[in-house]
A and B are shown apart, each in its own frame.
Chain A
Amino acid sequence: MLLPMPLWLPGLPTGDLTDLLLSALLVMASMAFFTVFGQKIQAWMMLRQVARSLDKLKMMRDEGRSIAIRALREAGAGGDVVGRVDRFLEHFLIEPEAMDPAGVVWKLERILDVREKKFLDEIRRIAPEAGEEKVHNLEGLLEAATALNVLYKVVRHYYLLGKKTSSIYIIAQLQMLIPLLMKTARAYADALMAFRKGQPIGDGIGALVAAKLMRGRPYKRVAEGTIVAEVELEGRRAFVVKAEGPGALVGRPGEAVRKLVEELKGNVKAIIFVDATIKLEGEETGEIADGIGVAIGGPGVEKFKVEELLPELKIPVYSVLIKEDVSEAISPMRKKLLESADRAIERIKALLAETTEEGDNVIIVGVGNTMGIGQ
C-alpha cells in the first residue's frame, strides 16, 4: 500500500506500509533500549567524569606527600621520614560528644590543643634542627597534605561504592559535588608550595592589617603565639592583637581578647575583628565589608570565648571582612588582596570614628595565619 506522506528516511523514493512498520519498530526499539539502558549509560558517563577527577586527586595527594617528605628532609629530618609522613597523613581527630552540649567547647579546645602539641612535637622529633618558625610552616604543609589525602580517600570511597552498587543516586551526588571538591583540593594543592617556602597566604590579610597598625611599636605576648601592641589610633587607645609571625601561626585571638578585657577591667568601648572571608561568585577579591559579630574562623573555640564575654560586659563587637576566593585563601597572597590592607585600615578608622570617642580603649584583632608576615 503506497503512502502519500513525506518520507523520514532519506534515500527511499516512496513509502509503503512495510517502511512505516519498520520505522515504527526502529523507534520503539530505540525507546526500549534507552529506557532499559539509559540510566546505566548515564551512570557510566558520570563515573568516567568522577574517575578523571579522582585520578587528578590522587596525583595531588601523591605530590603533597612527596613535597612533605622533601621539605622535612631539607629541614634536616633523618631516619624513616617516609613512614612517619605516611603515619601523619592518616592522623584523625574524634570530636567530643555533643549529645549533652554543655561544656563541649572546652572539651573540643582540649582535644585541639593536644592535637596541635602532638603534631608540633612530632615535627620537632623528625627534624630536630628546624627552627620554631620552620616547625610551624612544616605543620601547615603536613596539614594540607593530610587534607588532600582525606579528600582523595573520601571521593574514592563514594566512587567505588557507586560503582559497586551501580546506584545512580550515589554516583549523581558525587558527580554534582566534584567541581566544589576539586576547587577545595586545588586550594590545598596550591598551599603546599606556599607552606614549604613560608610565603604569606590569602588568609593572612587580617594579620597583615594588624601588623601594619602595630609596626614599630613595642609588643608583648598576651596568649600562646599571640601578641598585643598598644597603638594610638585616631585619638583612641587601641590594643592591636595578632598571631606572632613570621611562622605559620594563627594564635589564640579569643583568649587574647579575654585577657585584655580582664586587664582593662572591662573598660573597652569596642572590639574590631579584621579577617579574610570567602567571597561569593561575582564579588571581587579585596572587596571590604563591615558588620557586627565576631569574625574568627576555625572550629569555633576562640569565637566562643569572645562571645561568652559579651552579654555580661556589653562591649560592642564589629568586624571588617576582606573578601577572597576559596582558591586564594591558602595560596600565596595576590597583589590585589595585599593592597586591600590599607583600605581595611581606613575602614577601621571610619568605624572607630562612628562608634567610639577620643580617649576610649578599643581592641583591634587581626585574625588569620601570619606566615611570612612579621610585626
Chain B
Amino acid sequence: MRTLAPLLGVVFSALSMAFLIVSIIEIFRGNEETGLYFLVAAVALTCASWLTSRSVRTAREVPVIRSFRVITEVSCEACGFREVREFREGDYIFKEVGACPKCGGKLVITSIYREEAPPTRRG
C-alpha cells in the first residue's frame, strides 16, 4: 500500500483540481448547488491527498538508530597499494595490518570514514 501512496496522492490532487475547476464553471453558469457539491468533493480530495502524503513522509522517516556503512582504507607505505574494505571492529587509523601482497611492505590503515549513502536501520 505504501508503494502506491505517492501515486494515489497525485491522483487525488489531480481529481481535486479538476473538481475545483468544474465547481467554478458550474457557479459561473448559475448552477450554484452543483458547484457547491463539486467544491465539497474537491476539498475532500485535497484532504485525502494530504493524508496520503503524510503516510509517505512517515514511511521515508529515518530509522531511530542509524547504522552507517563505514569504510576502511588500507595502503602500503612502500608501493602505494590500496585496498578498500568494510570496517572491522578493532580497526583504527595508522594501525599496521600486515604485509603488502605486492611488495611485502607495511600495510597501514590510512582512513576510516562513513559512506555518504543513506544510512540503514541498525543491524
Q: Taking beta carbons and an 8 Å cutoff, which residues of A are in contact with B? A: 7, 10-13, 56, 59-60, 63-64, 67, 186, 189-190, 192-193, 197-200, 208, 211, 215, 245-246, 331-335, 337-338, 372-375
Contacts and interface: CB of A to CB of B under 8 A. Distances in A.
A332 B91 CA distance: 13
B93 A372 contact: yes
15 contacts: A10-B35, A12-B32, A64-B65, A67-B65, A192-B65, A193-B68, A197-B87, A199-B70, A211-B93, A246-B95, A332-B68, A333-B112, A335-B111, A335-B113, A373-B92
A338 B111 contact: yes
A63 B89 contact: no
Closest 5 CB pairs of A and B: A246-B92, A10-B32, A374-B94, A332-B114, A335-B113
Contact of B112 (A13, A200, A215): A200
A150 to B, nearest CB: 17
Contact of A375 (B32, B94, B112, B122): B94
Contacts of B65: 60, 63-64, 67, 189, 192-193
B94 A373 contact: yes
Nearest to B122: A193
Q: How large is the interface on B (under 10, 10 to 19, 20 to 34, 35 or more residues)?
A: 20 to 34
Contact of B94 (A12, A63, A64, A215): A215
A335 B93 contact: no
Interface string B108-120: 0001111010000
A63 B116 contact: no
B36 A374 contact: no
Contact of B89 (A197, A211, A338): A197
B91 to A, nearest CB: 7
Given A193-B65, A374-B94, A334 B114 contact: yes
Contacts of B93: 200, 208, 211, 245-246, 372-374
A37 to B, nearest CB: 21
Interface of B: 27, 32-33, 35-36, 39, 62, 64-68, 70, 87, 89-95, 111-114, 116, 122
A187 B10 CA distance: 35
Nearest to A52: B58
Nearest to B71: A335
Given A246-B92, A246-B95, A189 B64 contact: yes
B92 A372 contact: yes
B13 to A, nearest CB: 23
Contacts of B87: 197, 199
B66 A190 contact: yes
A189 B91 CA distance: 22
A186 B27 CA distance: 52
A372 B112 contact: yes
A257 B109 CA distance: 29
A183 B112 CA distance: 24
A193 to B, nearest CB: 5
A12 B21 CA distance: 20
A10 B27 contact: yes
A148 to B, nearest CB: 10
A10 B66 contact: no
Contact of B116 (A190, A200, A335): A335
Contacts of A332: 68, 70, 112-114
A63 B114 CA distance: 21
Contacts of B27: 10
B70 to A, nearest CB: 5
B95 A374 contact: yes
Nearest to A245: B92
A59 B112 contact: no
Nearest to A208: B93
A331 B92 CA distance: 15
Contacts of A338: 111-113
